[in-house]
A and B are shown apart, each in its own frame.
Chain A
Amino acid sequence: MPSWLSLPEGVSTYSPDVDRLFYLILIITGIAFVATEALLFLFAFRYRQREGVRATYTHGNPRIEVIWTVVPAVILVFLAISSRSTWDRIKGQIPKTDEEVMVTASQFNWEIRYRGADGAFDTPDDVITSNDMHVPAGVPVRIHLRSKDVIHSFFLPQFRLKQDAVPGMTIDVWLQATRTGTFEIACAELCGFGHATMRGMLTVQSPEEYRSWLQTAQAAVTAAQDGAGDAVPAAKPPA
């Protein structure tokens, strides 16, 4: 398949499920598309006006109406049913996990927050980065999503994850990366003049690398706090 006809590489555990549904719908609608457009062109050509040929006088056929009502209905209900479990898996049930990240959107950046030693968010020992998110590969990560100002949408194309960040709400989503690497975070909801520039990076690391990255960052926060405490008098300009 040419690369432009396929979805981008999927790197989350649920991306194959999304892609399978996409291709299933692509095949079904593709068949319907080819069949109906072919009939349209065939009829337009075959039944063009010709000398001495009169159109057939018919008002329709109830039996065929029933057929072409029931067949699409069955297919569409089937698609709805087969979509349900994947939807529940991605947006419904979040797997139990110790890995949690708080993502706070604002015009126009992603604030990424990790807990410090106290194990709680929104405390002074949080590790905070701007547009630089790290997660371990191979384990579920719970993401708490919120917004400070307007609606943003947290979009990780390769993870098949998109979720609006809504002011006044904290919305939880999750992902589990299947490989390491760096991936772009995009904003998918118009959020103002800087909408297009609201780009972050997600670095997926091996659990060990991630652990050491986080510990280093936590240590730096602690050091800065301690250092800040000591440094205040020293920082005064000499008299």
Chain B
Amino acid sequence: MSEHKTPFIRKYIFSLDHKIIGIQFMFLSLFFMIIGGILAMMVRWQLGFPDKAMPLGRLFPENLMPEGHMDPAFYNQVFSMHGTIMIFLVIIPILAGAFGNFLVPLMIGARDMAFPKLNMLSFWVGAVGGAIMAASFFVENGPAATGWTAYPPLSAVPDYTGVTRGQTLWVISLLITGTASIMGAVNYITTIVNQRAPGMYFFRMPLTIWALFITAILQLMATPVLASALGMLLFDRTLGTHFFAPSGGGQVLLWQHLFWFYSHPAVYIMILPAMGFVSDIVATFSRKPIFGYKAMVFSLVGIAGLGFIVWGHHMFQSGMNPALGSAFMASTMVIAVPSAIKTFNWLGTLWRGSIRFTPAMLHALAFVSSFIIGGLSGVFMASTPVDIFIHDTYFIVAHLHYVLFGGSLFGVFAAINYWFPKMFGRMLNDAVGKIHFVLTFVFFNLTFFPMHILGMGGHMRRIYDPTLYDFLKPLQPINEFISVCAFILGASQVLFVGNFLWSLFAGKRAESNPWHANTLEWSAPSPPPHLNWGETIPTVYRGPYDYSVPGLQEDYLPQDRPGAETPHPSRPSVLTPARA
């Protein structure tokens, strides 16, 4: 292999290696996570202490922060960019871009992606999209101020917000990042269908791969719909069309239908991969096969399928025909079933296991525990009459953060702790990892759980000063408490960043299979070389979850270890691998 001779720029910058591209996606997402996190802290300062000047607020231009107090228009920009960045530039790229790229070839036994150049293009197109979004902070009149949902006419007519180029750049940035998403999705689907190692039948694939596979299909089918909506919004803003303007015969609600037709599946794009990671991590550290492997696969498929017919539940109070509301309520209630199945199977996997509480496992358990809350709180808003009251309140904010922070982000933390040794060949510090976990778990719950109570009190989202309303004044102590907890939650992430950076250079050297796991990535060296394995790629003899097989000395049995017939081998599927 000639990798030692590859020049730096080809090896680490314009790399065709899926592992490097994955790591590039990870660094980019983590960078944006810091920005998104700082924006969240600013939001929390304003909501907790609307009368007090923000510390360091005077560092901002006087028109945004007069005497350190946040201007209401700036507040709208801050929370809009927090949501936009966290969803489009952190959660989606780190799950699909970073882990999808790093794990897909390694876990199915492929040397690289099916289309390495398209893969590189996907990252660099995504990076351009991110750069445009970041640049929108610095244009005249600042960045977008219409929430991550950008409902027109607010987003379509500059006069309504005072934001001019920033909102246009927002649209362009998402069009570009969406294109990157589609490129990635095509690559994952093709790679998983065509490049599996000999013996890697579909039903021998780890749940991480199933989840990334289903996610890629969702991305491929849903993202073009967002692109069409963004295109119309761009034309409305720049060319004077009236797609969303009733004055010209347009339809305001059209945007919401198109946006949610994408964004509801996107909600699952943001959680399914984490479900996959957690399934693998829970099985590995329970030293037990995943409970109900096929039920886990079919519930992933079920969530993805139903995910396309529930978008209207975001629009119950939008003016959509109430009869449609009833139909969307029914489909929304049904989609909770596969989520429940997954939760029960995770519990079933823990049952009679031999659980190792590594930082990865702790974060995975936090995922399950938060996902229970986020899933159950979703039942409230699925009920159309209850949604009348809690729609657009902090009950929704609590729900979405239980799914996106409690779910996706704990899934990301679990995955980083689990695969860091494979990515960088070094171990993260265990003790620091556990302290970071405890602080994050405790203060995450103290931050977001009380938001349910705010929502029950009718506290609207996206208002910059709750004390303007008499009925919200009694809730203000809760807002202050939430803000203090949010600051501690934010500060705790310094431990994560520190551990990550320190271990990157000075962590203990990792062996190839530090967790005694079964899946194929652990059969490659840590970190794997270019093309992942030496002369031959592994051959797969069994499913990914043969832990604690009776009669064996070891409590794990890698997928690629020949011989040693297992008592209940995963049944070979009619779907055979593409190449032997």
Given contacts A40-B368, A68-B340, contact A88 B153 (CB under 8 A): no
Give the residue of B154, B343, B392 whose beta carbon is less than 8 angstroms from that of A150.
B154
B154 in complex: contacting residue of A151, A161, A169, CB < 8 Å:
A151
**What separation, in Å, do the CA atoms of A26 and B333 have in the docked complex?**
15
A220 at interface, CB cutoff 8 A = no
Return chain A residues, CB-CB under 8 Å to B462: 190, 195
**In the complex, which residues 170-203 of chain A have their Cβ closer than 8 Å to any Cβ of chain B?**
171, 184, 186-197, 199
Q: Once the chains bind, are A168 and B246 in contact (CB under 8 Å)?
A: yes
Residue contact B388 to A22, C-beta cutoff 8 Å: no
Most chain A CB inside 10 Å of its own CB: which residue of B289, B386, B549: B386
Q: For A59, A65, A191, which residue has the most chain B Cβ atoms within 10 angstroms?
A: A59
Asked if B343 contacts A47 (CB within 8 A), the reply is: no
23 A–B contacts, CB within 8 A, in A order: A4-B457, A5-B456, A18-B386, A18-B389, A32-B376, A37-B369, A40-B350, A43-B355, A57-B289, A59-B545, A60-B345, A69-B295, A69-B337, A79-B382, A87-B384, A88-B322, A91-B388, A149-B153, A151-B154, A153-B392, A158-B471, A167-B252, A199-B468
Chain B residues within 8 Å of A29, by CB: 376-377, 379-380
> Do A169 and B252 touch (CB < 8 A)?
yes
* Whole-angstrom CA separation of A159 from B301 in the bound complex: 40
Min CB distance, B263 to chain A, in Å? 16
Instruction: Check if A151 sits within 8 Å of B153, measured CB to CB.
Output: yes
Q: What is the minimal beta-carbon distance from A132 to any residue of chain B, in angstroms? A: 15
Q: A65-B345, A149-B160 are in contact. List 8 more A-B contacts (CB 8 A).
A: A32-B372, A55-B548, A57-B567, A77-B330, A80-B333, A92-B322, A162-B391, A193-B145
B172 at the interface (CB under 8 A from A): no
Question: Does chain B have a CB within 8 A of A232?
Answer: no
Does B353 reach chain A (CB closer than 8 Å)?
Answer: yes
Query: Shortest Cβ distance from A188 into chain B, in angstroms?
Result: 4
> How far does the Cβ of B171 sit from chain A's closest Cβ, in whole Å?
17
A77 to B354 CA separation, bound complex (whole angstroms): 37
Contacts of A76 in B (CB 8 A): 333-334, 336-337, 379
Q: Which of B385, B465, B478, B548 has the largest count of A CB atoms less than 10 A from its CB?
A: B385
**Chain B residue with the shortest CB-CB distance to A45:** B355
B373 within 8 A of A: yes
Q: Provide the residues of chain B in CB contact with A33, threshold 8 Å.
A: 372-373, 376
Residues of B within 8 A of A199 (CB): 468-469
B339 to chain A, nearest CB (A): 9
Interface hits, B352-374 → A, CB 8 Å? 352-357, 365, 368-369, 372-373
- Mark each residue of chain A from 140 to 170: 1 if its CB lies under 8 Å from any CB of chain B, else 0: 0000000001110101011011111011110
Cα of A28 to Cα of B465 in the assembled complex, Å: 34
| C-alpha spacing A53/B147, complex, angstroms | 52
CB 8 Å contact bits of A1-40 with B (1 = contact, 0 = none): 0001111100000000110011001101100110011011
Q: How far is the CA of A33 from the CA of B166 in the complex (A)?
A: 43
State whether the Cβ of A239 lies closer than 8 Å to any Cβ in chain B: no
Between B319, B369, B389, the greatest number of chain A beta carbons within 10 A of the residue's beta carbon is seen for B389
Residues of B within 8 A of A206 (CB): none
Q: Does B253 contact A (CB under 8 A)?
A: yes
- In-complex Cβ contact of B146 among A53, A56, A65, A190 (8 A): A190
User: Does A207 sit at the interface, judged by CB under 8 A?
Assistant: no
Chain A contacts for B384, CB-based, 8 A? 83-84, 87, 91
Q: In whole angstroms, how far apart are the Cα atoms of A90 and B384 in the complex?
A: 10
Closest CB-CB distance, A155 to chain B, in whole Å? 7
> What residues of chain A lie closer than 8 Å to B290, measured between beta carbons?
59-60
- From the candidates A53, A65, A80, A166, name the one contacting B341 in the complex (CB within 8 A): A65
Closest to A193 in B: B73
Chain A residues near B323 (CB-CB < 8 A): 92
Bound-complex Cα distance A38 to B384 (A): 30
The answer to whether B326 touches A47 (Cβ under 8 A) is no
Query: Is B379 within 8 A of A4, CB to CB?
Result: no
Decide if B151 touches A196 in the complex (CB within 8 Å): no
- Residue pair B348, A64 in contact (C-beta under 8 Å): yes
* B568–A59 touching, CB < 8 Å: yes
Instruction: Decide yes or no whether B167 CB sits under 8 A from chain A.
Output: no
Contact between B336 and A72, CB atoms less than 8 A apart:
yes
A167, B246: Cβ atoms closer than 8 Å: yes
Is B204 engaged at the interface, CB distance under 8 Å to the other chain?
no
| Residues of B contacting A162 in the complex (Cβ-Cβ under 8 angstroms) | 317, 388-389, 391-392
- The docked-state distance in angstroms from the alpha carbon of A194 to that of B420 is 46
Residues A77 and B457 in contact, CB atoms below 8 Å apart:
no
Q: Does A73 contact B (CB under 8 A)?
A: yes
Query: CB of A50 within 8 A of chain B?
Result: yes
- Nearest CB of chain B from residue A119's CB, rounded to whole Å: 26
Minimum-distance CB pairs A-B, first 9 = A168-B246, A157-B458, A196-B463, A193-B73, A60-B292, A56-B352, A29-B376, A43-B350, A76-B333
In the assembled complex, B344 has its CB within 8 A of some CB on chain A: yes
**Which residues of chain B come closer than 8 Å to A7, judged between CB atoms?**
389, 456
A107 within 8 A of B: yes
Expressed in whole angstroms, the Cα–Cα distance for A39 and B347 within the complex equals: 7
The distance from the CB of B309 to the nearest CB of chain A, in whole angstroms, is 14
A184–B340 touching, CB < 8 Å: no
A8, B350: Cβ atoms closer than 8 Å: no
Chain A residue numbers with a CB within 8 Å of B376 are 29, 32-33
B550 within 8 A of A: yes
* A236 at the binding interface (Cβ < 8 Å): no
- The interface residues of chain B lying within 8 Å CB-to-CB of A55 are 286-288, 352-354, 547-548, 555
CA distance A192 to B162 in the complex (A): 9
**Interface presence of B464 (CB below 8 A):** yes
Q: Which of B76, B325, B377, B453 touches A87 (beta carbons < 8 Å)?
A: B325
Cα–Cα, bound, A234→B16 (Å): 85
A49 beta carbon closer than 8 Å to chain B: yes
Q: Contact at A79–B333, with CB atoms within 8 Å?
A: yes
Partner of A166, one of B293, B319, B383: B319
Contact between chains at A57 and B333 (CB < 8 Å): no
Q: Are B464 and A43 in contact (CB under 8 A)?
A: no
A39, A44, A56, A158: the one within 8 Å of B548 (CB) = A56
The answer, among A57, A61, A90, A192, for a CB contact under 8 Å with B160, is A192
Q: Is there a chain B Cβ closer than 8 Å to A58's Cβ?
A: yes
Contacts A43-B347, A163-B319 given: A49-B354 contact, CB under 8 Å?
Answer: yes
Q: Are B347 and A36 in contact (CB under 8 A)?
A: yes
Choice from A56, A65, A168 contacting B295 with Cβ under 8 Å: A65
Contact across chains for B352 and A47 when beta carbons are under 8 A apart: yes
- Which residues in B have their C-beta under 8 angstroms from that of A84? 326, 329, 384
- Docked-complex contact A87 and B329, CB < 8 angstroms: yes
**B319 with A188: CB separation less than 8 A:** no
Q: Are B386 and A22 in contact (CB under 8 A)?
A: yes
Is B153 in contact with A150, judged by CB distance below 8 angstroms? yes
For the complex formed, measure the closest distance between the CB of A209 and the CB atoms of chain B, giving whole angstroms.
Answer: 22
Give per-residue flags for B497-527: 1 if the beta carbon is below 8 A from chain A beta carbons, else 0: 0000000000000000000000000000000
